[in-house]
């Protein structure tokens, strides 16, 4: 009841300015930027100093607590502001704002503040409009006081800030931007207008936001809040180096709060500055050991440094101790990768699925998953993931991806072949054939799309050697022959021509290992080799290049590395 009486007694009181307003500017700047923790610190420090306008400082503290829905704290601050200066009516408006419905004749009470000395003060009208904004049903009153503010002070930037805020809340971004520009037109020092303009365009038109923030920095290089927002725009657009540079001009590691330090550590990490990031991580972790951002960055850095055991330990701890709703797609992705590095492919694939669920647009992960599955001999899963990538990858899908899928089908088909070169059972043949036919089709597509490459025909030959694994029908032969023709025409002919033009040369030709048709797998037998010296052409004494003719020469090299010595030394007769 006493509160209501005090409110009513102040209805006609004037006075909305302060002799010491400049001393609160830093805290007010932070408040207007939405940086409440910094604003509180600055305003409380001013109050404790005794050298500032306490009524104004308490008013903005009340506004902060009201915005945080801490009504008791807000009420306390407004009341302390009135104790400091009963004529500073903004605190009274703040008290009323906390519960409009609890104030009898609230419209009349608030209207009373616009008489006398305050009838030409647009800031009072704006404050009342913002008070009505707390009740969605009183939108008409908000518009009414906005219009009145324009009547009494049409050049006040605060009016156009309010108007821009209302339009931005209705998602009328272009109109909101025009209002913020109007505020700048009437007061080119209005930092809040620059900042809010940049923020509404930060996502939809980052360059506009960057340009406006750079104008603000040019206006006041000491206004470090602008660097913070500039860094944020760069960060969200993957310009991590620029983000790190901008944030370094804002951050103070010794005094900045944990949220800002966490963001800075993230920016440094993504800009590749791991050592600097680690310093900030260590500083934050000392203050907040369970900080989830620091846990994830520690895990990321350990992985990037190749310490996969430590990264796995950190990842498992993070996954156990962190609410899954706060995990991001990158957390699951790093966890998947480190599981893969620790030979835990099945577990890794589960985490890849979680990463895709968080970021469905990142279809490249399907390809990565296919490679992990293939390496772990999980061929059916690899086929599924490659297929998903090709189906969803759009323009990013290359002919090499079809080739990789073909190889995976080939591997799956080959797994059914008996080691002793005996006929396949009917059951295994039925299982093998779909894989082999799919491989043949995919390699045929590769050969068609890249006709100058031998790879499509070569691997098509291999696929057909699985289908005709006893070589009774000769299905592979035409594709091997085509592959050899292409190697001769597209590789060896231009290569030797270029070498001859360059001058004397030597060249060595050999396979890496035998693959007998009888076993269709690698063997450790010696391989034939051929060395040609353009400056010393001589007859080799053999009619063709194969295992049998090589044996006939008796020219056997015991240790493979000695072949290099032979290549670079004079050919022995």
Query: From CA 344, how far away is CA 353, in angstroms rounded?
Result: 15
Positive/negative CA dihedral, 494, 498, 501, 506:
negative
Which is more confident, 273 or 324? 273
Q: What are phi and psi of 531, to 5 degrees?
A: -120, 125
Q: Which residues have C-beta within 8 Å of that of residue 452, sequence separation ≥ 6?
A: 486, 490
Q: Is residue 19 scored above 60 in pLDDT?
A: no
Q: How far is CA 466 from the centre of its chain?
A: 44
Angle, vertex CA 504, rays to CA 502 and CA 509, nearest 5 = 100
Calculate mean pLDDT across residues 103-123: 93
For 4, the 3-state DSSP assignment is helix
Query: From CA 63, how far away is CA 93, in angstroms rounded?
Result: 11
Query: From CA 516, how far away is CA 201, in angstroms rounded?
Result: 66
Q: Are the C-beta atoms of 68 and 36 separated by less than 8 Å?
A: yes
For 144, the 3-state DSSP assignment is helix
Q: Which of 265, 315, 251 is nearest to 293 (CA)?
A: 265
Query: From CA 81, how far away is CA 88, in angstroms rounded?
Result: 8
Q: Is residue 2 scored above 70 in pLDDT?
A: no
For residue 144, what pLDDT is reported?
96
Which is more confident, 2 or 450? 450
Question: Residue 520's pLDDT band (boundaries 50, 70, 90)?
Answer: low
Q: Are the C-beta atoms of 88 and 80 separated by less than 8 Å?
A: no
For residue 14, what pLDDT is reported?
31
Find residue 531's DSSP bridge partners. Answer: 508
Q: Is residue 329 scored above 50 in pLDDT?
A: yes
For residue 573, what pLDDT is reported?
40
Residues 552-562 pLDDT 10s: 888 888 888 88
Question: Residue 523's pLDDT band (boundaries 50, 70, 90)?
Answer: confident
Query: From CA 205, how far away is CA 215, in angstroms rounded?
Result: 16
Calculate mean pLDDT across residues 538-558: 85
Query: From CA 65, how far away is CA 60, in angstroms rounded?
Result: 9
Q: Is residue 12 scored above 60 in pLDDT?
A: no
Q: Which of 404, 421, 423 is nearest to 412 (CA)?
A: 404
Tokens of 538: 């001589």
For residue 567, what pLDDT is reported?
85
Angle, vertex CA 333, rays to CA 327 and CA 337, nearest 5 = 135
Query: From CA 443, how far away is CA 456, in angstroms rounded?
Result: 5
Q: Is residue 321 scored above 90 in pLDDT?
A: no
- Per-residue DSSP letters for 10-23? TTT------TTGGG
Q: Which residues have C-beta within 8 Å of that of residue 533, sequence separation ≥ 6?
A: 504, 505, 506, 571
Calculate mean pLDDT across residues 57-78: 97
For 390, the 3-state DSSP assignment is helix
Tokens of 209: 């936001």
Q: Are the C-beta atoms of 66 and 31 separated by less than 8 Å?
A: no
For residue 517, what pLDDT is reported?
62
Q: Which of 387, 304, 294 is nearest to 341 (CA)?
A: 304
Q: Is residue 22 scored above 70 in pLDDT?
A: no
Residues 379-404 pLDDT 10s: 999 999 999 999 999 999 999 999 99
Calculate mean pLDDT across residues 450-456: 97
For residue 515, what pLDDT is reported?
78
Residues 52-65 pLDDT 10s: 899 999 999 999 99
For residue 518, what pLDDT is reported?
62
Average pLDDT, the chain: 91
Question: Left, alpha or beta for 502 (phi > 0: left; psi -120 to 50: alpha)?
Answer: alpha
Q: Is residue 354 scored above 60 in pLDDT?
A: yes
Residue 326 has a CB neighbour count (10 Å cut-off) of: 10
Q: Is residue 198 scored above 90 in pLDDT?
A: yes
Find residue 508's DSSP bridge partners. Answer: 531
Find residue 533's DSSP bridge partners. Answer: 506
Alpha helix ranges (H) inside 135-187 = 139-152, 157-169, 173-186
Q: Is 506 exposed, middle or buried (0-12, 13-18, 19+ CB in 10 A)?
A: middle
| Distances in whole angstroms, Cα of residue 507 to Cα of each of 340, 534, 557 | 40, 9, 17
Tracing tokens 């962190």 back to the chain, one arrives at: 322
Tracing tokens 């049998």 back to the chain, one arrives at: 548
Query: From CA 236, how far away is CA 252, in angstroms rounded?
Result: 22
Q: Is 174 exposed, middle or buried (0-12, 13-18, 19+ CB in 10 A)?
A: exposed
Find residue 532's DSSP bridge partners. Answer: 507
Q: Which of 249, 239, 172 is nearest to 206 (CA)?
A: 239
For residue 224, what pLDDT is reported?
94
Considering 2-16, 193-207, 316-330, the range whose residues carry the highest mean pLDDT is 193-207
Q: Is residue 244 scored above 80 in pLDDT?
A: yes
Residues 405-427 pLDDT 10s: 999 999 999 999 987 778 999 99
For residue 120, what pLDDT is reported?
93
Tokens of 461: 């030959």
Running DSSP on this structure, what letter comes out for residue 533?
A: E
Q: Are the C-beta atoms of 466 and 432 separated by less than 8 Å?
A: yes
For residue 498, what pLDDT is reported?
92
Q: Which residues have C-beta within 8 Å of that of residue 12, sequence separation ≥ 6?
A: 112, 115, 116
Q: What are phi and psi of 530, to 5 degrees?
A: -135, 130
Residues 249-303 pLDDT 10s: 999 988 888 999 999 999 999 999 999 999 999 999 999 988 889 999 999 999 9
Residue 120 has a CB neighbour count (10 Å cut-off) of: 12
End-to-end CA distance of the chain: 117
Q: Is residue 20 scored above 60 in pLDDT?
A: no
Residues 120-164 pLDDT 10s: 999 999 999 999 999 999 999 999 999 999 999 999 999 999 999
Query: From CA 59, how far away is CA 79, in angstroms rounded?
Result: 9
Q: Can you give the pTM of this predicted structure?
A: 0.71
Calculate mean pLDDT across residues 53-79: 96
Query: From CA 240, how far away is CA 271, in angstroms rounded?
Result: 5
Q: Are the C-beta atoms of 175 and 167 separated by less than 8 Å?
A: yes
């Amino acid at each position: 009841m006493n509160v209501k009486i005090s409110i009513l007694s102040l209805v006609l009181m004037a006075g909305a300015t302060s002799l010491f307003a400049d001393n609160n500017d830093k805290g007010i700047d932070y408040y207007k930027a939405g940086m409440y923790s910094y604003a509180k610190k600055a305003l409380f420090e001013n109050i404790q100093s005794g050298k500032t306008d306490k009524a104004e400082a308490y008013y903005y503290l009340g506004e902060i607590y009201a915005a945080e829905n801490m009504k008791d704290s807000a009420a306390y601050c407004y009341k302390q502001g009135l104790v400091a200066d009963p004529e500073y009516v903004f605190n009274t408006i703040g008290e009323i704002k906390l519960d409009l419905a609890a104030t009898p004749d609230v419209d009349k009470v608030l209207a009373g503040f616009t008489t006398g000395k305050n009838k030409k003060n647009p800031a009072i009208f704006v404050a009342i409009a913002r008070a009505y904004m707390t009740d969605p049903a009183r939108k008409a009153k908000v518009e009414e006081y906005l219009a009145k503010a324009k009547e009494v002070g049409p050049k006040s930037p605060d009016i156009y800030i309010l108007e821009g805020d209302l339009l931005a809340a209705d998602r009328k971004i272009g109109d909101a931007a025009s209002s913020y520009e109007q505020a700048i037109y009437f007061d080119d020092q209005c930092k809040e207008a620059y900042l809010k303009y940049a923020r509404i365009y930060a996502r939809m038109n980052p360059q506009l936001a960057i340009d406006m923030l750079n104008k603000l920095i040019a206006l006041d290089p000491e206004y470090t809040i602008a660097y913070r927002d500039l860094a944020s725009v760069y960060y969200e657009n993957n310009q991590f180096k620029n983000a790190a540079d901008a944030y370094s001009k804002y951050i103070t590691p010794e005094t900045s709060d944990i949220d800002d330090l966490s963001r800075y550590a993230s920016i440094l990490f993504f800009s590749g500055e791991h050592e600097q990031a680690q310093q900030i991580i260590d500083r934050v972790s000392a203050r907040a050991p369970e900080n989830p951002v620091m846990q994830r960055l520690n895990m990321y850095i350990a992985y990037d440094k190749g310490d996969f055991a430590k990264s796995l330990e950190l990842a498992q701890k993070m996954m156990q101790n962190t609410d899954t709703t706060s995990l991001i797609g990158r957390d699951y992705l790093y966890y998947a990768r480190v599981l893969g590095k620790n030979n835990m492919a099945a577990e890794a694939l589960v985490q890849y699925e979680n990463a895709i669920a968080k970021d469905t647009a990142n279809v490249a992960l399907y390809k990565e998953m296919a490679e992990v599955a293939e390496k772990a001999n999980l061929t059916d899963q690899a086929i599924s993931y490659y297929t998903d990538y090709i189906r969803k990858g759009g323009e990013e899908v290359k002919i090499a991806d079809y080739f990789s899928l073909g190889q995976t089908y080939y591997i799956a088909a080959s797994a059914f072949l008996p080691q002793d070169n005996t006929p396949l059972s009917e059951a295994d043949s039925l299982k093998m054939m779909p894989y082999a036919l799919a491989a043949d089709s995919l390699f045929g597509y590769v050969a068609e799309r890249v006709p100058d490459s031998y790879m499509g025909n070569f691997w098509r030959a291999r696929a057909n050697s699985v289908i005709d694994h006893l070589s009774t029908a000769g299905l592979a032969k035409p594709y091997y022959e085509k592959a050899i023709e292409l190697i001769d025409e597209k590789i060896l002919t231009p290569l030797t021509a270029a070498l001859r033009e360059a001058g004397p040369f030597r060249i060595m030709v050999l396979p890496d290992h035998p693959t007998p048709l009888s076993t269709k797998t690698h063997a450790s037998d010696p391989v034939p080799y051929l060395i040609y010296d353009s400056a010393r052409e001589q007859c080799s004494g053999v009619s063709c290049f194969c295992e049998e003719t090589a044996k006939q020469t008796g020219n056997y090299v015991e240790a493979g590395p000695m072949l290099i010595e032979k290549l670079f030394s004079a050919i022995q007769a």
